[in-house]
Amino acid sequence: RDVLTSPWCWQHAVLLNRFSQSPGLESSLAEQGYHPAFPAALPYLPAAFRCYTRTAPGRFPAQKHQPGRLKEYYLLNAASLLPVLALEVKDGEDVLDLCAAPGGKSVAILQCACPGHFHCNEYDDLRSRWLEQTIESFIPDPFINLMTVSKLDGRQIGDLQPEFYDKVLVDAPCSNDRSWLFSADPQQAVLRLLQRKELSSLQFQLLRSAVQALRPGGSLVYSTCTLSRAENSDVISLILSSCRNVMPVDISGMARGVSQEFTFLSGMQQHELLVLPEKGRAWGPMYVAKLKKVSSS
């Protein structure tokens, strides 16, 4: 709670944009005490994926959106890159980002690989515009032409495009602990607690849709930025018990590989992890779980 409610504890990671590199950026980051965030020991870490962090709090200057000009880097919570690294996207795969706004994870996926087809979906109208602006700010036209940006209800995509994708990311709407603790409005807090019950039902429906949209052999990653067990482990347990064609995937190797940078809740299953914010390592909260579809439904 102390870390989440204290902006002077907050840290930002700097994800470099491989489509728009400025020559002195990396040396400038190094001079300011930044170091590469992810070690080479990770099971999946593409060479083009470059991200920098430092232990001191503070924020690297943000870049303004300028039409027609690509930004050189994206500022984000380093823990939000773990779902992307867990997804392990390879060149040529068909990929769906089911709840894509504001677009940081979509941008990060494109730092890793060139999907054959990349579908970014965001149901909420306002957030969808934000997603489109993010894509315009970071992705060059030839790549944008390979992408589909839609405003579909994520719960229906499985029916609309059954067994179409190799990889699906479900970065689900959740009771975002960082923002609602920080706003500290008692009425808002009561509303959030009431919403929590509805959210887990929505999250389950989104996950079920994602499983339908996956090809057999394909994998999905589910993530939230809440500490709520009802929206994390419980949702994954429910999908594993109700979908016989889905198996958990071990991501403990990735967790071990980044344990210097992040603090994890102990006692989690091998297919899930939960990043806990701490002073000096203020990343998270971020829950990540990985599943694989073994056969047609």
Catalytic residues: 225
94 is in an annotated binding site: no
Q: Which residues of 217-249 are buried (b: 16+ CB within 10 A; e: fewer)?
A: ebbbbbbbbbbbeebbbebbebbbeebeebebb
Nearest-angstrom CA–CA distance, 285 and 201: 21
101 is in an annotated binding site: yes
104 is in an annotated binding site: yes
Say which DSSP state 289 is in.
E
Residue given tokens 């994800």 in the structure block: 15
Strand, helix or coil for residue 207: helix
102 is in an annotated binding site: yes
216 is in an annotated binding site: no
- In DSSP notation, 85-118 reads HHH---TT-EEEETT-TT-HHHHHHHHH---SEE
99 is in an annotated binding site: yes
103 is in an annotated binding site: yes
Residue given tokens 């030839």 in the structure block: 142
* φ, ψ for residue 57, nearest 5 deg: -70, 175
Query: How far is CA 146 from its chain centroid?
Result: 21
167 is in an annotated binding site: no
Binding-site residue numbers for S-adenosyl-L-methionine are 99-105, 122, 153, 171
Binding-site residue numbers are 99-105, 122, 153, 171
